[in-house]
Structure 1
Amino acid sequence: MQRNTEVDVLVIGAGPVGMTAAAVLAEYGVRLRIVDRRPGPDSGTRCTNLWPATLDAMAFMGLDVGELLERSQPMRHKVFHLGEDSFSSDLTEYGAVSPVPLTQSQDVVDAMLTARLERFGVAIEYGVEACRVDPDDDGVTVVLRPAGPASDAPAERVRAGWLVAAQGMGTGAEELLGVRRTVRSFPGVRILHADARLENRDGIGPDEEHIYLAASRSAGLVPLPGGLHRLFLMEPDPAGGERPGAREIVSAVARVSGLPLTAVEPACPWWARPESRIAETFRLGRVLLAGGSATALPLTVHGMNNGMQDAFNLAWKLGMVVRGLGDEVLLDSYTVERRRVARKLVEVTERVLGMGTSEDSQATHGPRIRQGRVDMRTQPSVTYRQSPLSQDQGRPGGPQAGDPMPGLLDLAAGTRPCCTEWTLLVPRDSAGAPPVPLAELRALADKYAAVRLRLTEPGSTVHLVRPDGHIAFRGPVDDPAALAGYAARFLR
């Protein structure tokens, strides 16, 4: 007999993306379940990079990013090698909780997110998959069943107000719904990597990523915690070629880089043929796509970061809607904001692929690298200036609506707004500036349960900051009516 259950939100997929969405929704007090077709969590290094925007999101979620900073390996420079020449670039991104990318095993990130869910009493249900998804105007009906071989366990009918598909494109609810997507493949190219401890690291700094460009291929070394390195290779894909092991990958990287690499206990061999896929929309009524269910990127190093940022962006909006704190129009901004980021990431990663597999890197890319005209950061800064949630009436200059608000996150000072709150930053009165209508602004903040007012240094501009730290509204402090009009559109 089929069981029937009801929840506010059903999350399909319990990787970092699904767990991020579930953790934020749990913070809002949403009734939710999170299921995954895998028999249990994966293990191993897998994705190693954590970009500043991802670390900011983790900090807003209340995760102990300070401890993560201490345990991880910072990556401050990216060094390109063209023949005997090398060119270094600073990866610092000022204003983020971590100004540089970190490398860390995905196991550590998974453990942090799992612990966060347990704090809210949310248990991941492994070995469960969706076999039918029926959305309607009021919610989604999902039939769940045990994954894997046939089981005598009965199927379960779940009625959810919303469904978050975060299980990876081609493996979850988006397949059942026939989501349309733009696909681009890169025939004749494969990417390989393995992890190892290198005995000879002369000239390789502990906080440097090194990339070696050669004819039709490239190799690289990324520092990992504990003195390990990830060695990666982009090369022509041999027809019918066998899948190489970790030692073969290390040897291939040594040949391309020209380094006398001696690896101790190389492990975690991996390879793939790159492909990019972007769903035409990240929302289909009551079904919302995040991470791999929405976007697959040619370079997997971006998958976890982009997906966690998707999930955080989506979950705070969905949490507000479910709890009656915000208008459903908030969700209309999700595709606009995150699909734009996905397209930019695809452009960047395709450019990296082209550079890494060029037949003549010296001639094609050498001049631009030497002149510093290549953006070495493969994770661009995230801004939402074009979002329908961004309204800017402030003076020219400084951070604009849609940009991250500088100084909002300060771990050393203990300043970390909760991901369920909007922050209204109001300047104090100062001589020579228009008087601040503090009583009126405080009444406006008190009108909305999710808004918290905070006084800042004297100035003439008021900022309303979203739960993800991006500026929603920027305008003159002596015109509270404009701010009130904005709040009335989106908040409840």
Structure 2
Amino acid sequence: MDPEVLVVGAGPTGLTTALELARRGIGVRIIDRAATPNTQTRALGVQARTLELFARTGVTDELLARGLRADRFNVFSEGRRILRADFSGLPTEYPFLLMVPQNEVEDVLMADLARFGVTVEREVELTALTPSIDGVTATVTYGERPADARTYPWIIGADGAHSTVRSLLGVGFLGSAFDEHFAVADLRVDWDRPPTEFFAFLNRGRFAAFFPMLGGWHRVAIARPAGEEGWERGSVPTEDLQAAVDTIVPGRPQILEVRESGRFRINQRRAAAHRSGRVFLAGDAAHIHSVIGAQGMNTGIQDAFNLAWKLADVIHGDAHAGLLDSYEAERAPVAARLVKGTRAVTRMTLLRNPIALAARRTVAPRILGRPHTQRALTRAVSQLDVSYHDARGAAPAGRAAVGDRAPDAEAGGRRLHELLDPVGFTLLEFGTDTAATTDLALPGSAAIVRVPDASAASAAYGITGPTLVLVRPDGYIAARGGAEEIRRYATSPARIVDASSRGMQ
């Protein structure tokens, strides 16, 4: 079929977008200027919320087979532990961070995309965009061959931090870079710390973070203050990495082997807009931030899940084009919160002031050790707290309001997320009479699931009486209440989670 959507960029965000569109019967073309697929580790770590979403596509099991499940996070300040966080209590089927390299994620997504007859077109570079009322004309080049221009109804720019799409649109990229210099390396180290735990060591403006990988390897990120000689130029020799480890990490563990290394600067930026007419920005093209927390790849993938079902519904004629306005309305607060949060955490790790360092060593352990703080921290890192309920971009633990993630819990011997429709809406019936939903005009061909009384799912959703909960295709709550509340959402002009529907709790 003629493609309805051109996706520019074949990283995790672009591949997820293309896959989600293809699964819904939308013709999609995906291009990338690179000659071959990425073979470098780059991003590392797939969060619990991302694994939940990938489970709807059927690729989570393959990712689990390729990764290491990391379940705890440790932070030390000048040799003293100030944090030990445990993911095992998270209310999800995936209470861990899956350490799987970006290139492995891309490989799994490309294989699944091929099942729908879609392959990445390589060495194809976008050079011009010409918007019109009915579409966007994209001009691309094929190496030495003549340029080609074709009009698409929709274009999605998932082409990274140096996005050509964003540049051609003239959309600003707001923010700044940190002054400190960073190095990253994949290495094996001689120590006796648990192989499935994260370790971050902070030491007077320097830090070294060790992220576990399969086979006894670690991804190590190291920061040193600006102005220190020899760190900002050239390669990163093993002796320089060892010298940094000796300075920062208690016990001075020895580096046994280095597989690859490089240098980078941390930028904290987000696009001035996520959309311009029929063109959308997603992933690093829309926002970049500190590597601390392993949030970047996951945030881009979740951009894709948010946008793809809405665009598919509009293309199929099941929703008004106004629904697409909710993409930026929902994802921009999430990106803004992420940029702000990772900036604050990064600044905290790079403290040099003696008074601030003393407070970090003495006050931080008491605050970070509180159960409430631990719960909030692990939910944020795993992105289970992401919410579209309001402009804060996050939900408190235990809430299941409109715009929040639909909780997962036991329901009649199965997990509720297993019962959700893989591509469409799902109506959950909690203690209601089946006749109450007989005449409902549900969005698309929504699946209907009757949740057993007194199940853990009822408690997770805060059910106190007969209630209907409509879950969106991306696993967030669209509406809840009685038949009238569900009907109001399903028949709204654009099926957007707006202020009126957010009151239906």
TM-score bracket relative to the smaller structure? 0.7 to 0.9
Matched, 1:191 2:191: no
Distance in 1 between the 2:115 and 2:89 partners? 32
Distance in 2 between the 1:201 and 1:25 partners? 46
Of the three residues 417, 426, 429, the one matched with 2:429 is: 426
Quote the offset at 1:486 in angstroms. 1.1
Matched, 1:79 2:83: no
Task: Check whether the contact 1:10–1:160 (CA below 8 A) recurs between aligned residues.
Answer: yes
Task: Check whether the contact 1:279–1:295 (CA below 8 A) recurs between aligned residues.
Answer: yes
Q: 1:283 to 1:419 in 2, by over 3 A?
A: farther
Of the three residues 461, 474, 479, the one matched with 2:480 is: 474
- Equivalent residues, number: 463
Matched, 1:232 2:210: no
Distance in 2 between the 1:388 and 1:138 partners? 34
- Identify which range, 459-468 or 379-388, moves more after superposition: 379-388
Of the three residues 423, 427, 447, the one matched with 1:452 is: 447
SS at match of 2:248: helix
Task: Check whether the contact 1:333–1:388 (CA below 8 A) recurs between aligned residues.
Answer: no
Matched, 1:39 2:35: yes
Quote the offset at 1:418 in angstroms. 4.0
Quote the offset at 1:44 in angstroms. 2.3
Quote the offset at 1:229 in angstroms. 1.0
Residue 30 of structure 1 aligns with which residue? 26
Residue 433 of structure 1 aligns with which residue? none
Quote the offset at 1:26 in angstroms. 0.3
Please, which runs of 5 or more residues in structure 1 have no aligned partner?
391-396, 430-435
Distance in 2 between the 1:206 and 1:178 partners? 46
Of the three residues 280, 283, 290, the one matched with 1:288 is: 280
Residue 191 of structure 2 aligns with which residue? 201
Quote the offset at 1:106 in angstroms. 1.7
SS at match of 1:371: helix
Distance in 1 between the 2:366 and 2:33 partners? 49
Please, which runs of 5 or more residues in structure 2 have no aligned partner?
454-464, 497-505
Distance in 1 between the 2:406 and 2:115 partners? 29
Whichever residue aligns with residue 445 of structure 2, its letter is A
- Mapping of 1:327-366 within 5 angstroms? 327-359=320-352, 360=354, 362-366=357-361
Whichever residue aligns with residue 260 of structure 1, its letter is R
Task: Check whether the contact 2:274–2:280 (CA below 8 A) recurs between aligned residues.
Answer: yes
Task: Check whether the contact 2:79–2:201 (CA below 8 A) recurs between aligned residues.
Answer: no
Of the three residues 316, 319, 330, the one matched with 2:312 is: 319
Distance in 2 between the 1:90 and 1:339 partners? 29
Q: 1:219 to 1:324 in 2, by over 3 A?
A: same
Matched, 1:257 2:249: yes
- Identify which range, 238-247 or 404-413, moves more after superposition: 404-413
Residue 503 of structure 2 aligns with which residue? none
Q: 1:93 to 1:246 in 2, by over 3 A?
A: farther
Distance in 1 between the 2:392 and 2:254 partners? 53
CA shift digits 1:86-140 (9 cap, x unpaired): 1312234623331221111222211110011100000100101111101122111
Residue 142 of structure 1 aligns with which residue? 138
Whichever residue aligns with residue 315 of structure 1, its letter is A
CA shift digits 1:144-181 (9 cap, x unpaired): 1125xxx1x12111111100000013232111111023
Residue 171 of structure 1 aligns with which residue? 163
Quote the offset at 1:404 in angstroms. 1.4
Task: Check whether the contact 1:318–1:331 (CA below 8 A) recurs between aligned residues.
Answer: yes
CA shift digits 1:174-200 (9 cap, x unpaired): 11111023212222x0221111122x2
Residue 400 of structure 2 aligns with which residue? 399
Quote the offset at 1:262 in angstroms. 2.4
Distance in 2 between the 1:319 and 1:212 partners? 45
The two structures, once aligned, show a CA RMSD in angstroms of 2.6
Distance in 2 between the 1:38 and 1:269 partners? 21
Residue 302 of structure 1 aligns with which residue? 295
Residue 245 of structure 1 aligns with which residue? 236
Task: Check whether the contact 1:52–1:101 (CA below 8 A) recurs between aligned residues.
Answer: yes
CA shift digits 1:446-485 (9 cap, x unpaired): x54331111112342110000111111011x3xx122111
Q: 1:387 to 1:217 in 2, by over 3 A?
A: closer
Residue 150 of structure 2 aligns with which residue? 158
Q: 1:62 to 1:343 in 2, by over 3 A?
A: same
SS at match of 1:372: helix
Quote the offset at 1:364 in angstroms. 4.2
Task: Check whether the contact 1:6–1:159 (CA below 8 A) recurs between aligned residues.
Answer: no
Distance in 1 between the 2:68 and 2:102 partners? 13
Task: Check whether the contact 2:389–2:401 (CA below 8 A) recurs between aligned residues.
Answer: yes
Whichever residue aligns with residue 99 of structure 2, its letter is T
Residue 462 of structure 1 aligns with which residue? 468
Whichever residue aligns with residue 472 of structure 1, its letter is A
Residue 443 of structure 1 aligns with which residue? 439
Residue 98 of structure 1 aligns with which residue? 94
Residue 219 of structure 1 aligns with which residue? 208
